[in-house]
Structure 1
């Protein structure tokens, strides 16, 4: 089994395409940094000294005064900067007041920990990369005619199936860790360091004070479940259909239209909690999630259990089909 998994790594991590995918991830990160630096204001990079309480109070007063001045102007007379200030300063005032209330020194708006947490918004892009890889894990063997060479090995069909399955899980973990590590490296040189590990995050019920490492741990776990969900689906479909384009298309359709279906059904039926798309993104339970749950009866434990059960069923069906399929032709 170990040699089969190593063989999969050799096949996919000796390909230029895999490193191009990793390079694209880094390129988009750098692009985000460049755009952020281009449009960042003095507010974004401002840090506070040891006398931070009085400085924060001064800023709150200054921002409130600025908002009051903007509010007096007619909508058609406001400049673009005034519209921007109106949208951002209100949130900044609420955030700073929350830090004062909790007696925690606020970081710069563009800070290291917040950038790491914002990596959550990048996970869908990473998932697409994994879908592209996993959609070809078995179908490529059929399309290139190497499936027969694979099956004449002394290893059983189930060992061959689960070696590729394990590779899909490990590749998902590698891409996820790579994304967070590269974010940390880039952010270390382009953002301000935080004065504490306490950070105010805005959820769907206002601001909360959290420990960054606890939130990051929860977030990385939720991201991993999300990524392997689609990696396993893509791999299972590549086994069932024996066609890369078909498994790729069906997985993408499930990924993109699943969330749209939940948005459409939200508030219209109580059965929404039993639909898989309502449960596969565990990030919805994190304290910094700004959106309301699709169903208030949903819980982290229920969704995690639901995901595991569905993935076990999908894997078992794909393994059974692969074990019984005749590949003589």
Structure 2
């Protein structure tokens, strides 16, 4: 265990000594700050003065839609959920979350997990391939440490970078949101619709859940990039393919969602929020099914990474 910890420490030292690593971290900070400035001083505020009338009008339109063209399955569930939540807000005087508020800003900041996924893919793509391109892999493997621990330390270091970036994003978005929008309304609850009943939940836990859900895609894409980097020893190939799939995968799945077989594709299962929103991509898909599919893909990616690195002829 101590050898593994030493290897992880060594990988982190190499990672954070690179200028590019700090440039990526700086870009995350700059992006959050820039959006904060834009939201506070340029973007117009949500019109929450007549929010009750707006929600009543929305409910009327939803009810007409339901009556004129009866929806089934996920569509009907979504409409009922929205109407129930709107009515609960009106009855209990709970306005929708304003984008120019602490919680509204932090919810918007969760979109930056895509930027973190992009940067972590760059790190993962070069974590193993760079050792071969720089010729340092032989120096690494002559140590009295198993190849399993070496590849594991590199993967753990990559995941730690992603985790550090997520914590930074969460903390810095809270600081920026507090400075620009204050902490007024910090006790505002998050409303969920469950079994025909509207419940009040913690807004902080909701935001943490958003970060968690968005991290699923990050984890799978980083693991894929790490596998490609190890198998093909090419950082450009690993980064290129992973970034391409990161941005086009979900769109392709949406286009193919009419086919039943698409539910077995990785990108159809990375968005677990489809179950909390009550609108699964393919009818019949469940949270358990998607988690099982993700576990299978994860095992395949990591097993292939370990097998190839274990058997790799360094002299080749």
Q: TM-score range by the shorter chain?
A: 0.7 to 0.9
Alignment of 1:43-58 (within 5 A): 43=46
What's the counterpart of residue 153 of structure 1?
143
Question: Does 2:29 align with 1:17?
Answer: no
Distance 1:23 1:4, change over 3 A: same
Aligned with 1:281: secondary structure?
coil
What's the counterpart of residue 320 of structure 1?
307
Alignment of 1:136-215 (within 5 A): 136-192=126-182, 193-200=184-191, 210-215=201-206
Question: Does 2:8 align with 1:5?
Answer: yes
Aligned with 2:284: secondary structure?
coil
Compute the TM-score of the two structures, normalised by the length of structure 2.
0.80
Check conservation: 1:5, 1:166, Cα contact below 8 A.
yes
Alignment of 1:263-274 (within 5 A): 263-266=254-257, 268-274=258-264
| The 10-residue stretch of structure 1 (138-147 or 209-218) with the greater mean CA deviation from structure 2 | 209-218
- Correspondent of 1:32 among 32, 35, 38: 35
Check conservation: 2:269, 2:294, Cα contact below 8 A.
yes
Aligned with 1:136: secondary structure?
helix
Check conservation: 1:126, 1:176, Cα contact below 8 A.
yes
Cα deviation for residue 282 of structure 1 reads: 2.2
Question: Does 2:209 align with 1:218?
Answer: yes
What's the counterpart of residue 124 of structure 1?
114
Gaps of 5+ in 2: 58-83
Aligned with 2:190: secondary structure?
strand
Q: Distance in 1 between the 2:293 and 2:260 partners?
A: 16
Compute the TM-score of the two structures, normalised by the length of structure 1.
0.77
Question: Does 2:86 align with 1:99?
Answer: no
Check conservation: 1:226, 1:282, Cα contact below 8 A.
no
Q: Distance in 1 between the 2:51 and 2:216 partners?
A: 41
Check conservation: 2:40, 2:100, Cα contact below 8 A.
no
Check conservation: 1:138, 1:239, Cα contact below 8 A.
yes
Distance 1:256 1:156, change over 3 A: same
Q: Distance in 2 between the 1:262 and 1:278 partners?
A: 6
Q: Distance in 1 between the 2:280 and 2:16 partners?
A: 38
Cα deviation for residue 108 of structure 1 reads: 4.7
Aligned with 2:38: secondary structure?
helix
Cα deviation for residue 279 of structure 1 reads: 0.4
Check conservation: 1:130, 1:171, Cα contact below 8 A.
yes
Check conservation: 2:272, 2:287, Cα contact below 8 A.
yes
What's the counterpart of residue 257 of structure 1?
248
Count of residues in Structure 1 that have an aligned counterpart in Structure 2: 283
Cα deviation for residue 32 of structure 1 reads: 1.1
Check conservation: 2:97, 2:104, Cα contact below 8 A.
no
Q: Distance in 2 between the 1:140 and 1:294 partners?
A: 38
Note the aligned Cα RMSD (angstroms).
2.9
Distance 1:109 1:264, change over 3 A: closer
Gaps of 5+ in 1: 47-55, 66-93
| The 10-residue stretch of structure 1 (133-142 or 190-199) with the greater mean CA deviation from structure 2 | 190-199
Aligned with 1:328: secondary structure?
coil
Check conservation: 1:239, 1:318, Cα contact below 8 A.
yes
Check conservation: 1:173, 1:224, Cα contact below 8 A.
no
